[in-house]
Each structure stands twice: as structure tokens, then as C-alpha cells.
Amino acid sequence: MAASSSSVTLALDTATPWLTLALVWPEGELSVSREVGRAHAELLPGAARTLLNDVGLPFHADLIVIGTGPGSYTGVRVGASYALGLGRVWGAPVLGVSTLEALVRGEGRQGVSLDARKGNVYGAVYDVQGGVVQGRLHDPARLPLPDFQALLGDTPHHQDGAPDGLALLRAGVAHGQRDWALAYL
């Protein structure tokens, strides 16, 4: 679902220790990401309100994109609940996309992963064009880090970084799902 030229799109992700938000509106775009540990529930409402207020927009979006994980059980559910609540109040669709897609950087084939503890990662390999995942070369899966590294070979690997809110937002607009499910580490 593409956003129209007069629409406002809000993206948010709370699956990792980072609180990540992004906003695109006709006059611009803005992304913020800060490490908050486990304080997503306390900080998300104020951060979303501040993001819209800082650019002079009312507290409303026409489309919401949510990072669906993988991530901590509580973190993923905080973001999803908040996004669904806003979507219902605003009458805005809520599209889901894997948090892993917010870890992509640059262009071309690349692997991304999050620590899944005990020597495992939750990783995927994507083809990225125009800053957006265009294809999955290896679907998101949990596997031992050495196995994931062997799968990657010489492919660049982005591991445990801060999610990029604009990458998440663009992925959601390009191919976000209305019928999404949450993924946990």
C-alpha cells in the first residue's frame, strides 16, 4: 500500500533495546532511535507525540508501520499494542514488517541478525535495492551464529545494530502485511 503525497506515515519498532520511530509527511522525513533497554512502555507514547509535535503535525497518521520482531516478548507486544491502538483511534491501517528489515544498510545482498542468546542469532539474508528489501535470499530463522556466518560467506553482515526507522517505514510501505504475526527471540 503506497502512501499518497498528502499522507503521514508513522513507523515504530520496540523489538530490540532501541526505541525506533520514523515519520514521513509531504514536507519531509525524520527518524529517531535511542537505546532504552526495557523502558519502551514508559517512553513510546511520549516519544511518538513528540516526534509529530516537533515537525508541527497533529497527533495523527494515515498509515502505521510496525516492526513485528524478532525481539523480546514484552518489547514486541508493547509496540504492537500501541500501534494497533493508534490505528483504531486514527482509522489508519497498521502494516507489519520484520524488524530485521530495519537493520539493512546500503544496497545489494546482505545478512542481518539479532542475538538470540546461547550462541544463536535470528538472521536473514536480503537483496536490498533503493534502500528497501526487494527479495529474501534466506528467510528469517533462528540458527547458530557459525551456521549463519557460513551461510553468508563473503556477504556483508549487519549484526545487533540500532534499527533504522526509515528503512522500516519504507519496507512497510513497499510490502508491509495487514495480516502480520509477532516473532520472538
Strand runs labelled E in 17-166:
18-25, 28-35, 63-67, 94-97, 108-115, 120-129, 132-144, 157-159
What parts of the chain have a pLDDT lower than 70?
A: 1-6
> Cell numbers at residue 66, please?
510496525
Could you tell me which of 112, 109, 123 has the C-alpha nearest to residue 155?
Answer: 109
Q: In sequence order, what are the beta bridge partners of 18?
A: 35
pLDDT at 4: 42
Cβ neighbours around 95 below 10 Å, total? 26
pLDDT at 2: 43
% residues pLDDT > 70 (the chain): 97
> Cell numbers at residue 107, please?
544496497
pLDDT at 185: 83
Alpha carbon 86 to chain centroid, angstroms: 17
pLDDT in tens, 53-72: 999 999 999 999 999 999 99
pLDDT at 6: 65
pLDDT at 1: 42
